[in-house]
Amino acid sequence: MRVEPFDTSRHMEFTRRATLVSGGVTLLFGGVGYRLYDLQVRRHDEFRAQADENQFNTRLIVPLRGDIYDRYGEVIANNTPDFRVLVIPERTDDIRETMKRLASIMPLTDRQIQDVLDKAKRQRSFLPIQVAGNLDWDTYAAVNFHSTDIRGVVSEIGASRAYAEDAGAAFVVGYMGAATAEDIRRAREKAQTEEEADKIELLYRQPGFKIGKAGLERTLDERLQGTPGSMRVQVNAHGRVIESYTDDAVPPKQGEPVGLTIDKELQAKTLEILADDYGEYPDEALGEHPLSASAVVMDIVTGDVIVMASTPSFDPNVFSRGIEAKLWRELNESPLKPLLNKPVAGTYPPGSTFKLLTAIAAQEKGISPQKKHFCNGTFRFGGRDFTCWEKRGHGWLDMKGSIKHSCDVYYWNLATELDIDDIAGVAKRYGLGQTYDLGIGAEADGIVPSRAWKRAYYRNDPPNQTWFPGETLSVAIGQGAVTASPLQLAVMSARLATHKNVRPRLVRAMGADLLTQPVFEDLPGNPMHLKAVQEGMNAVVNEWGTAARSSLQPDYLMAGKTGTSQIVGLRRDPVTGRRLKNEEIPWQFRDHALFVAFAPYDNPRYACSVVVEHGGSGSRAAGPRARDIMRAVLDKDPSNYDKHKFWTGQRPETMDVASLGGTR
């Protein structure tokens, strides 16, 4: 037998391969071993901490929102139990089928179902989604009964915002709504750190959590929100809560209470008066006309806005519950504009109420209030005849008489001696053309015409920048370009009554602190110039002037001034040429009716303005309403306890309103 010689080359090749393989295996297991050592021994503490963080999370607890009270501690907005139904997508077998089964138990619209499905696609599956809130007990009980058979459905009792239905303060308080993506973005931008931003976003995404969308609810949102609490919870790898730990939980802190200057009872009374039928057009053949009106009442000593009413109004509770699309369209499309805060956002030509300011401007120009002008019913200027509202004329009138009878001719005569900038300066000094930052937003500036205003308005149209004397005639009687809000007119009345720089406010207490009562400085100008104006306003109401039917005698002396502002030129019958009465014109083209007042005349305490849109005559539509509003206000004044028509228990000055720091 032949023996092959030993192949040393093949042996060496095998040895090298074995060495390489064994070396590689050794390195591999060495690396794994080192990695295990690194993870489990050397970096044990680091990963132990991370594991603990993954295992335990902090869950936010939504705080109750701060309550809102009127000036006497009556609740205007608070929190009420909210029966809710939630669904957790992760726990459902099929979320569409779950929603279908829920719809067979409780009323759900297609829109509600689709909203839940959309949210389930956008957010993490373990986060709960609110299906419906503010359920009645029967519906809530029915869902509870069947929830054990429907996977992923959870019922809970939370809290929602509730507004007193008899407060009528929707435009002051505002309303709530769910946070939008834009709301969350803005809130995150305000945060100081990324951690704080994440916490805010988590709070905003809590089921049922809402933020202020309008009015003081929006302006004071951060203070009303309160401070969320926290609770440590154990979660699994997917972030789902397994167990909650209450031992170290931090309870939420309710938001600060807010005390308003508004008188809830007078607010409701004013809305009732504004909406009442005062028979402005008893012979009207056009059917029932719509009513849109507003009123503001101020305490001229403190600046407190006691009444800020607008009709028609809306129920802020429908926004808190979630307003239906149909109702939203109706509110937005109504010609009466129920969503417009007319006291601050509505602007109107002030009509003859503006004559009070023209009278002051004339005195500052050196024109004596005793100087008389003759009114025969017409005034000729620039080759054109202007007609006074009293076609027969008023005869000879001084300044007091011109206010009493609201004579147009008298003020057209004054306008020929005045510069528009003289009138504009007085108007701004007495409150027109400015806003007051009440915290409810949407305050309109109004327009106080002047040369500078016209240049700015017609900056791209040079030929129209020149101010013409005929324009001064219109402004002098409150027509033309001049406009003002009811709030501005109330401020004007307060300043005319006191010669003080009265400024309005709506909040008188935050938390347990009563805000410092403002002290108003004197206005520039000679206070003696107010004498003829105040006497004229007294004559308007109490000496058979244009508002004689609005007198409060013998109980009180109220001084006032009527105003009627034209929307379009006077119309005539196209066939006969007869000038149509205001009630014969379509509602939207009728004149606005205005009235401003202060009382008591000999010791002013309250100022008022009333505007009835397209109400026709200020003496017929606005004056009587202002009379009844001011009677209610004066009757309720603490100094008139014996005449009080409202208080049935303690005297106002002894009431316990500790949360507001006491009454004035």
Contacts of 277 (CB under 8 A, 6+ apart): none
Contact 530, 499 (CB under 8 A): yes
Angstrom distance (rounded) from CA 405 to CA 474: 18
Name the burial class of residue 513, with classes exposed (0-12), middle (13-18) and buried (19+) by CB atoms within 10 angstroms of its CB: exposed
Contact 577, 460 (CB under 8 A): no
Alpha helices in 346-438 (DSSP H): 355-364, 399-405, 408-415, 420-429
Three-state SS for 111? helix
**What is the three-state SS of 257-270?**
CEEECCCHHHHHHH
- Kindly write down the DSSP assignment for every residue of 158-222, as one continuous string: EEEEEE-TTT--HHHH-EEEEPPHHHHHHHHHH-SSHHHHHHHHHHHTSTT-EEEEEHHHHHTHH
Please, how many CA atoms are within 13 Å of residue 493, restricted to the half-sphere of its CB? 38
Contact 612, 291 (CB under 8 A): yes
433 backbone dihedrals φ, ψ, rounded to 5°:
70, 20
Measured in whole angstroms, the distance separating CA 611 from the mean position of its chain's CA atoms is: 19
- pLDDT computed for residue 645 by the predictor: 44
| pTM for the whole structure | 0.82
Indicate the DSSP class of residue 512.
Answer: T
- Taking the CA atoms of 278, 280, 282 and 288 in sequence, report the sign of the dihedral they define: negative
| Structure token pair of residue 315 | 């129920």
Angstrom distance (rounded) from CA 611 to CA 629: 13
List beta partners, residue 58: 232
413 backbone dihedrals φ, ψ, rounded to 5°:
-65, -45
Contact 200, 187 (CB under 8 A): yes
Which domains, from first to last, does the chain contain? 47-74+164-260 (3.90.1310.10), 80-160 (3.90.1310.10), 264-282+291-658 (3.40.710.10)
Please, how many CA atoms are within 13 Å of residue 39, restricted to the half-sphere of its CB? 6
Angstrom distance (rounded) from CA 490 to CA 498: 13
78 backbone dihedrals φ, ψ, rounded to 5°:
-150, -160
What DSSP element (H or E) covers 69?
strand 68-69
The number of residues making up the chain comes to 664
How many angstroms separate the Cα of 315 from the Cα of each of 199, 203, 220, 451? 32, 26, 20, 43
* Among the listed residues 556, 553, 539, 532, the one whose alpha carbon sits nearest the alpha carbon of residue 606: 556
Angstrom distance (rounded) from CA 341 to CA 308: 9
170 backbone dihedrals φ, ψ, rounded to 5°:
-60, -40
Residues of the chain whose pLDDT is less than 70? Answer: 1-25, 29-59, 124-126, 233-247, 279-290, 321, 568-571, 641-664
Angstrom distance (rounded) from CA 510 to CA 619: 40
* Among the listed residues 402, 540, 420, the one whose alpha carbon sits nearest the alpha carbon of residue 476: 420
pLDDT in tens, 345-364: 999 999 999 999 999 999 99
* Among the listed residues 308, 289, 305, the one whose alpha carbon sits nearest the alpha carbon of residue 346: 308
Q: Judging by DSSP bridges, how do beta strands 373-375 and 395-397 pair with one another?
A: antiparallel
> E strands along 263-387, which residues?
293-299, 305-311, 373-375, 378-381, 384-387
Q: CB count, 10 Å around CB of 142?
A: 15
The CA-based dihedral angle spanning residues 410, 579, 625, 538, taken in that order and rounded to the nearest 10 degrees: 20
Amino acid in the structure at residue 365: K
Own/partner pairs for 388-391, CB < 8 Å, 24+ apart?
389/564
Contacts of 2 (CB under 8 A, 6+ apart): none
